[in-house]
Amino acid sequence: MKPPKDKPGVTVTQLQDQIAALEGFRVSFERYGAADVPIVAYPFGVMAPSKWRISDWKRVRLAPYIGVFRKVDVYRGDETVVKSDLRLVTLRDSYYEARYGTLEPEETTNVTLLDDRRPPTPRSSRRRSE
């Protein structure tokens, strides 16, 4: 049976997906009580500042959900639950590291270097097309 179309709110899965898409990290929630209590959509339009810690993010961004969820787990890029209060920049970097193996910039081999010793062409010697 499908829920009525006029029912407000989002599902837990939709909220988790909204947070992942905006914030750059994955979370999971454990609800209080009945699953039919409506949940408001994630109300933010930009990601939280990278200098925030996970505790800052939970306190500020999850305030509308305090009565709906018993627990929230935040996941690193390797799918393990975060056990410490990381800065969001470190948490977000863990997703890059899990996918690419390093946070260090790698040299590319398919780039042609420009000769920076060549003097610039003077403006007066350029032809003007009219």
Contacts of 123 (CB under 8 A, 6+ apart): none
20-38 average pLDDT score: 90
Domains of the chain: which residue ranges?
A: 12-100
pLDDT value at 46 more than 80: yes
- Model confidence band, residue 3 (pLDDT cutoffs 50, 70, 90): very low
Q: Contact at 8 Å (CB) between 20 and 37?
A: no
- Model confidence band, residue 106 (pLDDT cutoffs 50, 70, 90): confident
- Model confidence band, residue 13 (pLDDT cutoffs 50, 70, 90): very high
Model pLDDT, residue 121: 67
pLDDT value at 78 more than 90: yes
β-strand partners of 10: 39
What predicted TM-score, i.e. pTM, was given to this entire model?
A: 0.74
23-44 average pLDDT score: 90
Q: Contact at 8 Å (CB) between 77 and 94?
A: yes
Please give the Cα distance from 116 to 26 (Å, whole number).
44
- Among residues of the chain, what percentage have pLDDT more than 90? 63
pLDDT value at 30 more than 80: yes
